[in-house]
Amino acid sequence: MTDYEDITYEVDGPAAVVTINRPARYNAFRGKTVEELIKAFRSAWADDAVQAIILTGAGEKAFCTGGDVKQRAETGDYGPTESGMFEIGNLHKLIRDVPKPVIAAVNGIAVGGGHVLHVLCDLTIASETAKFGQAGPRVGSFDAGFGSAFLARVVGEKRAREIWYLCRQYDAVTAERWGLVNWVVPADRLLDEAKAVAAEIAEKSPTTLRFLKQSFNADTDHQAGLSNLAMSALDLFTHSPEGLEGAAAFAEKRKPDFNKFVNA
């Protein structure tokens, strides 16, 4: 078994449960977190006993709040990794490519890159306490690939633009009404519900489910090219004065001053 620092991984019956375990940072991910998530998803892919994967966050406050902006403010990046790369794009692709349904069990705040993760999952079950939204334009970041283009397929263009442009947070009932989540359950039933759904999936033909997932993905696979382009652009942008201002303001708990970049 692989030793993990930023996540936990366990197999419970037909479900692999992958938990982002950084509650002190609201389960924000750094480079190491992403690397460990990739290892866990690959382990679940290779394990014939696993027929569905549950992705959730530790604690009651957050599912995932995206990239660790405090880390970015401190070091200018998302910290060291074994590969020397920040592989969030590869994680996005892996969630789509793993030939088993992925269930997001959203236990709290899902914003920024954490919001993107749940959107990419095949199903989303939300706690009544869950909150959804984007934060990128507020902290000097963006996802112009799957995080926006695929989101528009899920909730429609107008809602997707609202989510990104306004950076508001939406409750679980609203998210369900918009089709952003499949259903909402009480907080104390969330993981049990996700495991019950995984057990229900396990009764189905795994080959059929694999083909269905690939069929659903085929319609939006071209967005992977946009995602690659967006990640390259984001890497440049986060090191620009405008991107650095967003991270610094977040770390200093003040409003960012983006006015000087309006005509840049």
Pick out the residues of the known binding site: 78, 109-113, 141, 253
Residues flagged as binding site for substrate? 78, 109-113, 141, 253
- Given a contact cutoff of 8 angstroms between Cβ atoms, the answer to whether 104 and 121 are in contact is yes
Q: Tell which residue, 178, 186, 113, has the closest CA to residue 152.
A: 178
For residue 119, give Cα distances in angstroms to 43, 63, 115, 123, 139.
22, 12, 6, 8, 20
Cβ-contact 160, 147 below 8 angstroms: no
Q: What is the DSSP letter of 260?
A: G
Cα 162 to Cα 174: distance, rounded to the nearest angstrom: 13
Q: Are 9 and 18 in contact (CB under 8 A)?
A: yes
SS3 241: helix
Distance CA 40, CA 29 (A): 15
